[in-house]
Each structure stands twice: as C-alpha cells, then as structure tokens.
Amino acid sequence: MDKVQLKDLDISLVENKRNYISGDTVYGTVSFTVTGGQMEVSRVRIALICQTKTSWAESPGLRLHREGNTFSDRKTYIHFVYKIPDQLALKHLEPGKHQIPFNFELPVENIPSSYESDHGLIEYYLEVTVDETTVDEVQMVKTGITVQAPVRHNLHVSVGGTVEKVFTFPSVGTGSINMHASVAKKGFESGHPIEVDCFIWNESTLDVTPRLTLYQTRVYMCGERHRGVVVALTDALVGQVVKSGAKDMLASLPNAFALIRNPFPYRSLRRQTHE
C-alpha cells in the first residue's frame, strides 16, 4: 500500500472554548486533508494529556558548580485516548478533506488545576498523532486548554490563629498585644469574597495598626527533594489604628480588590469586613 500523505492537520474546539472546570466535557474536531493514497481512520490517535514539570537550581555560584545543582522532574497525571467508534475506525479515507469529532469528560475529583510559575507548571493539552507507519512523516499537532479543579470537600471548616507580642524594653513600650484572626471557611474559589475577622487586645502603651496580606505557599517536588516558596499575592491592606488600652476590639479592615494569579484570566478577589 502506498504511503498516505496528509496536510492541514488541526484541532478545533467547539465555540473555541479554552477554559474548563473539573467534570466538564471537552468537545472538538480533528480536521485534515488526505492528498494521496488511502488512510485508515484507526491510525489517528486523539489524546487528552495532563503533565507536570518542575525545575530549580540550588547553590549557584560555587567555584566548581557555578550553575548550581539543577533538579527537575516530569510526570503525567492524565493520558486519555479517545476511542473512535468502530463503524468509523475501520473506514478508509479517500483523498480530500475529513473531520473526526471527539469528546473527553474531565474527572470530577482528583485532578490538579492548571498552573504556571518560574519553577514548575501543570499543563493540559489535546494531542493528535497519525501513525508513522502510514504516512511519510510523523504528523502531530497539539493545543492547550486550562482546567480549574476547585477543592470541594471540607471547605466550610472555620480556621483561625492567635499571636501574642510582649514588650520587654521600656524604651520601646511596655505591656502586651494579643491578636486573633479567623475566616468562616478555609476554601474559596476565584472571585469569591474572603471575610476576615480580626480581634485585638491592646494592653500595651503603644498604638497599633493591623495589616492584612494574602499569601500563597508553593511546594515543588522532585523525587525526595522539594522546594517551598511563599509569595504575597496582594499588597497589605491597612486597617484603623487600635489605641493603647483597647480590649476585645474588632479591628476594622478596609474593603479592597486584589488580583491573584490562577489558571483562568486574572480575576478579582474581594475582602469583606465588618464595620
């Protein structure tokens, strides 16, 4: 059998949709043109893949290792292959333009969200390949999508913390300051408001001003090695001054909008406070 010749191999998604949530179904079409010979449809492989990559360098600048020790890893979390219906898979395609529709259902749970940073990424993409034994050259095309997989369990458990500062140098101040901050639940999705309660017992000789900042802790794994990075996602929100001697005071923090990075385009994360 003469080898098949292809051109214009492409992937198109219904309504050009690129952003998905866990549990969604990805619908699309593979299109191509056969320019010579006949091709079995079964030679076309359509896959949905999720891969993670991590990479970082430690101790750069040493005399013998100026570039430092580099750690990197790559893992595949999802590799779904679309099963072309039997009545279509056994067909032989004549020269001309052809299309193969496909769909993939994303799992509801136990998948990560799309992510990208300096030290790692989580990427989802669709990949189409045509068997190299059938064509003159390996034909392959990819297109990326983003997936948001919010945590759905134990989100409504309240969390909080308490800290105490005792002044021991009279030249700075005397007494103590206690602060307790809490949120009504520990899980939020992009765009949802975060309501923070902050109580301050100021039994010191100083006036104090509360500040609120949203941080993200990132942990990158490579075998037995790991690297943790703490990143401030927002500027500090400055509250009202709490005077010396004020007790059991609900600190007033201003309403504000802060942009955070997530798999979807940037969205605002609003903080609501009590008056």
What is the structure's pLDDT at 220? Answer: 85
pLDDT digits (tens, 9 = 90+) for 182-207: 888 877 776 777 888 888 889 999 99
Could you tell me where the DSSP H helices lie in the chain?
86-89
Mapping DSSP to helix (H, G, I), strand (E, B) and coil, where does residue 152 land?
Answer: coil
Q: Which fold has domain 159-272?
A: Immunoglobulin-like (2.60.40)
- CATH top-level class of 5-148: mainly beta
pTM for the full predicted model: 0.71
Tokens of 136: 């003159």
- Whether residue 159 is predicted with pLDDT greater than 90 in this model: the reply is no
Interatomic CA distance for residues 194 and 153, integer angstroms: 18
What is the structure's pLDDT at 272? Answer: 33
Q: Using alpha carbons only, what angle is made at residue 203 by residues 201 and 204, rounded to the nearest 5 degrees?
A: 125
* Residue 111 Cα distances to 44, 50, 74, 107, angstroms: 26, 9, 16, 7
- Whether residue 273 is predicted with pLDDT greater than 70 in this model: the reply is no
Residue ranges matching CATH 2.60.40.640 in the chain: 5-148, 159-272
